[in-house]
Amino acid sequence: MTEPKRTMSPPVHLTDPYNLDAEPVPGCDVCTALDKQRMEAREQGRAAAAATAGIEIANHLHKKRGVKR
Ligand SMILES: [Zn+2]
């Protein structure tokens, strides 16, 4: 009887609210490792682990180009 309030939220579909498909930065060891983890997690069906890796890639801050140690 009571219709739940519907907003614009789509059905649960594993969309990317956290940019889970963030592109790893080429040449970044951390991103490369995380990307590998993400792929492996996906292959193993571990969605949460894949999501975590994706979030970490998205959150991995990079110095602007030209900054070298
Ligand atoms: Zn990185």
pLDDT tens readout for residues 18-67: 567 889 999 999 999 999 999 999 999 999 999 999 999 989 988 765 54
Q: Using an 8 Å Cβ cutoff, are 16 and 1 in contact?
A: no
Q: What is the pLDDT of residue 42?
A: 94
Ligand 1 centre to CA of 27 (Å) is: 8
Q: What is the pLDDT of residue 8?
A: 66
Largest CA distance in the chain: 64
Is the pLDDT reported for residue 69 higher than 80?
Answer: no
Q: Using an 8 Å Cβ cutoff, are 67 and 37 in contact?
A: no
Flag whether the pTM goes above 0.85: no
Ligand 1 centre to CA of 53 (Å) is: 11
Q: What is the pLDDT of residue 63?
A: 72
Ligand 1 centre to CA of 23 (Å) is: 9
Ligand 1 centre to CA of 49 (Å) is: 18
Q: Which two tokens stand for residue 10?
A: 């789509």
